[in-house]
Amino acid sequence: MQISFESKPQIRDWDFVVLLFYKYVKIENPTEFLENHRALCESLNIKGRFIIAHEGINGTCEGTPEDVNEYVKTVTKDPNFADMHIKYSQGTGTSFPKLKMKVRPEIVSLGLGQDDIDPNQITGTHLKPSELHSWFENKEEFEIIDMRNDYEHAVGHFPNSVLPKLKNFRDLPKEIKNLEHLKDKKILTVCTGGVRCEKASGYLKSQGFKDVYQLDGGMVSYMEQFPGQNFNGAMYSFDGRNVIDYDGKSHEIVGTCRNCGQKTENFTDCKNNSCHGQFLECKDCLIKYGKIYCKDRCDAHLNPFSRLFKRIIRFLA
């Protein structure tokens, strides 16, 4: 499924367009593929992040409508990518500071090595956003498992979805025991654009889960078709926009500040520059306290005197 400029003419009216896509397809020489892809992006002034592996490509990037259109036309001329599901959203021109491409063993990692899941061999049944909407409308009995990280879920999610304790996607095998009670239920795996839930649904099937679906095109595809319906909050975007929505910012904010509990969709980076962790901190607290350490990783490694000093500063403020 592709959403083209022809089928969505408003894309042409945006100043900048962000693409989100992936494809599980065998790439014989990822390094050569990367160099050719880099040359294409540089020729069109496309910026973004790409992961390339023997198992396929996972990318998100930004450019002008004209440049993005030419990029899509060129990429999809390759029969391996002709049916790649590409998602479009409105950009800012600053969503990505530069072009970054990496060759990795997997485009998303479950950490299973030779036992890794090949979605072309085993995966859940693809469920179209329109079909999921019907499930909601008809009050179908099913369980949603959100395959994203905790901070993504915090700013927006499907109601009543199950969130495994995943700091990283590769934590799923360790968490599978906590999902055992869902083995005989109808399961729908979801994530941002589909790349994680496609592999995750295959992993669940390999572990004996019987009735497994995956949301085709991910949450962004559902939100685009049904803005403000059956989804709480906004979508974490992994780029300079931080969050995106499709309902004109009329949605209810569900994210809360880690410091004061105030409703917010403002993300901040961990004070530890080597951590790269993100969490919700409202703008008032950011002004009041400045950057702080993320709760679960860096804060735990502060010495007791540093933790006491932090509490005193917060109390005095």
pTM of the full structure: 0.86
Instruction: Compute the average pLDDT of residues 265-283.
Output: 86
Give the pLDDT score at 205.
Answer: 96
Residues 124 and 231 in one domain: yes
Cβ atoms 133, 222 nearer than 8 A: yes
Domain housing 19? 9-103
The count of structural domains within the chain is 3
Task: Using alpha carbons, list the distances in angstroms from residue 63 to 15, 98, 109.
Answer: 9, 11, 28
Write down which residue in 193, 216, 236 finishes a domain. Answer: 236
Write down which residue in 236, 252, 287 finishes a domain. Answer: 236
Give the pLDDT score at 21.
Answer: 97
With cut-offs at 50, 70 and 90, classify the pLDDT of residue 301.
low
Give the integer Cα–Cα distance in Å for 36 and 52.
12
Give the pLDDT score at 22.
Answer: 97
- pLDDT tens string 222-237: 999 999 899 999 999 9
Give the pLDDT score at 298.
Answer: 72
Residues 198 and 231 in one domain: yes
In this structure, of 135-144, 172-181, 208-217, 242-251, the range with the lowest mean pLDDT score is 242-251
With cut-offs at 50, 70 and 90, classify the pLDDT of residue 289.
confident
Give the pLDDT score at 113.
Answer: 74
Q: Is residue 259 included in any domain, yes or no?
A: no
For residue 307, pLDDT beyond 90: no
Residues 196 and 299 in one domain: no
Q: Is residue 245 included in any domain, yes or no?
A: no
Residues 163 and 210 in one domain: yes
Give the integer Cα–Cα distance in Å for 259 and 283.
11
User: Residue 50 phi/psi, 5° resolution?
Assistant: -135, 135
Active site residue 191: yes
- pLDDT tens string 117-147: 999 999 999 999 999 999 999 999 999 999 9
Write down which residue in 58, 85, 103 finishes a domain. Answer: 103
Out of 41, 61, 191, 257, which one is annotated catalytic? 191
Residue 167's CB is within 10 A of a number of other CB atoms, namely 12
Give the pLDDT score at 1.
Answer: 44
Residues 127 and 232 in one domain: yes
- pLDDT tens string 169-207: 888 999 999 999 999 999 999 999 999 999 999 999 999
Residues 151 and 83 in one domain: no
Residues 99 and 154 in one domain: no
Mean pLDDT over the full length of the chain: 89
b/e map 135-147, b = 16+ CB within 10 Å: bbeeeeeebbbbb
Instruction: Compute the average pLDDT of residues 67-87.
Output: 95
Can you give the CATH number for the domain in which 28 is found? 3.30.70.100
Percentage with pLDDT > 70 across the chain? 90
Residues 216 and 171 in one domain: yes
Residues 160 and 45 in one domain: no
- pLDDT tens string 96-118: 999 999 999 999 988 787 778 99
Give the integer Cα–Cα distance in Å for 215 and 233.
18
Among residues 256, 247, 236, 219, the alpha carbon closest in space to that of 145 is found at 219
Instruction: Compute the average pLDDT of residues 289-317.
Output: 61
Residues 23 and 85 in one domain: yes
Q: Give the residues across from 18 on adjacent strands.
A: 62, 89
Give the pLDDT score at 248.
Answer: 75
Residues 120 and 149 in one domain: yes
